[in-house]
Amino acid sequence: MGFSNIVVAVDGSEASQEALNHAVELARQSKSALTGFFIIDGGWPNFIGNDWQSAKGARQGFLDYIREEQEQQAEAARQQFEAAAEGIAESRFSILAGDPTELMISKANAVDTDLLIVGQRIFQVSGRPSLRSLSKRLAAKATRPLMLFP
């Protein structure tokens, strides 16, 4: 089966390494483009949404702190991707922001995604508890080829 664009979710941790290695291998074999991405979880304000007693400074300070951690993780993901994708003619990496589950489903179903490759523990390194079920929901909602790694 030939691919023109293989997409892989990368989070800069071991959880995405195997999926990334496989995506790179497949992209080399099929001479396809490789697209990596990281998602900055935009669900934190809602997650602490009922925290109505926090001082504004404490609440915003916390959100800024979490954002900083996620930006560092995004940079780690970029480095992980670039190291693995070295030598691939057409590779690109992007950082998205929003609800990881929704964005993953939209990536999985995009017309220019020939195959989405994902590790099952993706984004748990800096995410909310519900992201543990992200791959399960992705498998249920994906309408295009999807490859899940343990």
Q: Is 140 in the site for another protein (CB under 8 A)?
A: no
Q: Is 126 in the site for another protein (CB under 8 A)?
A: yes
25, 65, 83, 92: residue in contact with another protein (rule CB under 8 A): 65
Please, are residues 133 and 104 in contact by the beta-carbon 8 Å criterion? no
Q: Is 72 in the site for another protein (CB under 8 A)?
A: no
- Residue 73 CB, nearest approach to another protein (Å): 9
Residue in 116, 99, 109, 104 with CA at minimum distance from that of residue 32: 116
Q: Tell me if residue 61 falls in helix, strand or coil.
A: helix
Please, are residues 144 and 108 in contact by the beta-carbon 8 Å criterion? yes
- Residue 123 CB, nearest approach to another protein (Å): 10
Strand partners, 35: 7, 92
Q: Is 75 in the site for another protein (CB under 8 A)?
A: no
The residue written with tokens 């490859």 in the block is: 147
Residue 12: how many CB atoms within 10 A of its CB?
20
How many chain residues touch another protein (CB under 8 A)?
38
- Residue 122 CB, nearest approach to another protein (Å): 13
Task: Summarize as ranges the residues that interact with another protein (CB under 8 A).
Answer: 41-42, 44-67, 69-70, 99, 124-130, 132-133
